[in-house]
Chains A and B, each alone.
Chain A
């Protein structure tokens, strides 16, 4: 027995993309949002640095420069028509957010304040440009709260703490989802004309990650299980500044305000790896540089980390050396970066104003995901056929705007721009279509799967399997990859998938069974880990976030294309949609 609901539009996931889509869809059709967390707990809230748009409030800026920076940041794998839309609509998106009430930081003349950020430059002078609109260092928190507030204002219907476990995809059409109400353990069927997956990323595959525990790739995994492909899974971003050993993110905004990387010798090593942008080079370049320094024996105390130096006197020294007239003091840093300063004080017990901070790269963002077109419609294959009634946006989707590496602050733009486009498209679609029939038994397979996990009497422990998965992924499918490493990882993952079949959980109950849900989520992670490793093995080049030590150069002749992979591990490729920019050497 399952409870049945009918909605014109259903959004799965209540982060920035999901809430934006729901807000716009609900203006004209009956919409509901299901989320396994309370909406304000979504990981959009952890985003810190800012949301980029070429407003030009601080200095001259153009959306075309933003587009070029994004394409270059993506190592030329981004679909340039999508990037154009992203950057053009970014300005409108940010103004829209401000109109909704988002409390941006302000300039002296009352406009939205913008700061420098990695990879964003003035294309003429080639110097960093102030493009990231920010609210202290809690921009994501402000965006999430503002969107949720607007949803409350517009009476959007929420089903909080409902976890999607299956999608109803029949004959290339999506007709709804099956979800578990966590509080009661009951199964619910949501019959919908249009469904959007906005479930976020899957950083929990790795041990050192900035991601929340809830980011287990539910949407992409369910899509994979329904026979849909995932795109560019080998491209995963390792953010250079995670707190050592914990993975907690210290925003790139720190470097935007002037913080620098230093090694054991106290040198600003980014000068060697990225002579122009230095510490504001794109994230993959920084992460690799850090590990190269560590390998060269320049890690702090010979260990596997370097320092991020926020000390005002050091920052000023390097501003002077760069010929930059800016100067900062302790008060300014405290005011602009209050949250990350607190993280360092609370979790490391050190004061970043007086001591340098140990950092290491942390698994952060999935450039890959569910392939979509420019209106967030999910694609069935590499030829552009769409799945009717299915949409995806946010980190779970791959449009692809971020290509092989995402620039900082572009994710929040992505959520707002494509969340909105998707929401509008869903409403349009729902208005001109009827409900497609579903059977009374449509929830049975999912229910059986859950009961299977619940009642399984194997010997394997989910916590142990997850630990091993994370260790293997960190070691072999991290910043540096090799053929042997990836093959070893693949074998391990497949071994873990076998062991997963013999899993056993302690909690046999029905209500609020987090043991069961975590075990189900582990299944999702295993599926995604496998296709990630396979895609990485097949891509014999280095591009953006995917770096092969055995193929260290970028190979545009053979690999200027997107990888599509299915759950049975077969792959196909799709050409990148080029535009104004042809691939050039990517130097910072």
Chain B
């Protein structure tokens, strides 16, 4: 089927403002939006730039706004994306656009690093694995799925308005450790998240949960962190 693509273009070396590129692509219904973008790049206009790698929704490179909604271009199929024969593709919001669909991910990763997203445990682990029951493992299973694609954070109005909000992704990553029974650094992370730019900027808009390509219950995870801050308990 023929699909008409409207893609937001911007070349920092030539353009003062962004503009729309229009391309007609022949695509199967079962193709991914990424496949169509690559057809544009390889057959129509080689100057189109976007990040991509795994092409099956695991690496998180190709987060974009497709028809106004954040998704991974490699996970969204043409038949689910096309509206009236058209697909509109833009870069994700809230992060500076570098070129075409490529945004500067540094602020996003800086927020990620700020929540100390690594296991903190100073006790001697011993020769074998630390033990953890299946229930304890299941407690934080949802937040281990995060691939740092930035769909959630860049769909959050609080983040758009004020980029110093740590964002849903960072909170999910912190949640993964706070509720991991092997971790001892919950207090430190909760300190970071308890600041004005932390978890309190969440207004429970739910955009994050809606767009997460891994179906993580992001708002619920944020809610659990808020509960931990209020009650002072983690369970």
Contacts and interface: CB of A to CB of B under 8 A. Distances in A.
Direct contact between A and B in the complex (CB less than 8 angstroms)?
Answer: yes
Interface of A: 37-38, 40-43, 45-46, 55, 94-95, 98-101, 103-112, 135-136, 138, 141-142, 145-146, 149-150, 152-153, 183, 212-214, 246, 248-249, 339, 343, 346-349, 461-463, 466, 505-507, 509-515
Interface in B127-144: 127-134, 136-137, 140-141, 144
B77 A347 contact: yes
B137 A103 contact: yes
Contact of B56 (A145, A152, A248, A511): A248
Contact of B129 (A41, A98, A463): A98
Given A37-B53, A213-B53, A507 B47 contact: yes
Given A112-B129, A141-B147, A46 B47 contact: no
Contacts of A103: 137, 140-141, 144, 176, 180
Interface string B73-116: 00101000000000000000000001110100100010001001
A40 B59 contact: yes
Contact of B105 (A38, A146, A212, A249): A38
Contacts of B51: 41
Given A106-B134, A463-B46, 6 more contacts: A99-B125, A101-B119, A104-B137, A248-B56, A463-B43, A511-B99
B135 to A, nearest CB: 9
B217 interface: no
Interface of B: 11-14, 30, 32, 41-43, 45-47, 49-61, 75, 77, 98-100, 102, 105, 109, 113, 116-119, 121, 125, 127-134, 136-137, 140-141, 144-145, 147-148, 176-177, 180, 182-183
16 contacts: A37-B61, A41-B59, A41-B61, A42-B59, A43-B59, A94-B129, A101-B118, A106-B132, A111-B129, A153-B118, A213-B54, A343-B56, A347-B32, A463-B42, A512-B102, A513-B49
Nearest to A102: B119
A268 B75 CA distance: 32
Nearest to B125: A99
A142 B144 contact: yes
Contacts of B113: 152
A141 to B, nearest CB: 7
Contact of A46 (B12, B56, B105, B129): B56
A152 B148 CA distance: 15
A146 B183 CA distance: 13
A100 B130 CA distance: 10
Contacts of A248: 55-56
A45 B147 contact: yes
B117 A110 contact: no
A344 B132 CA distance: 31
Nearest to B54: A212
Contact of A509 (B11, B131, B137): B11
B49 A512 contact: yes
B131 A111 contact: yes
Classify the secondary structure of B's interface with A. loop
Contacts of B130: 98-99
A95 B129 contact: yes
Contacts, number: 156
Nearest to A243: B56
Contact of A213 (B43, B52, B100): B52
A104 B140 CA distance: 12
Contact of B47 (A37, A111, A249, A506): A506
A278 B223 CA distance: 48
Nearest to B134: A106
B193 to A, nearest CB: 17
Contacts of A511: 12-13, 98-99
Given A95-B129, A213-B53, A511-B99, A46 B13 contact: no
A46 B57 CA distance: 9
B59 A45 contact: yes
Contacts of B12: 511
A308 B59 CA distance: 25
A12 to B, nearest CB: 17
Contacts of B121: 101
A578 B147 CA distance: 42
A212 B137 contact: no
Contacts of B127: 95
A42 B119 CA distance: 21
Contacts of A466: 42
Nearest to A105: B137
Nearest to A100: B119
Contacts of B131: 106, 109-111
A46 B56 CA distance: 9
Q: Lowest 9 CB-CB distances: which A-B pairs, in order?
A: A101-B119, A506-B46, A463-B42, A110-B131, A149-B118, A153-B118, A507-B47, A41-B59, A98-B129
A213 B55 contact: yes
Contacts of A506: 45-47
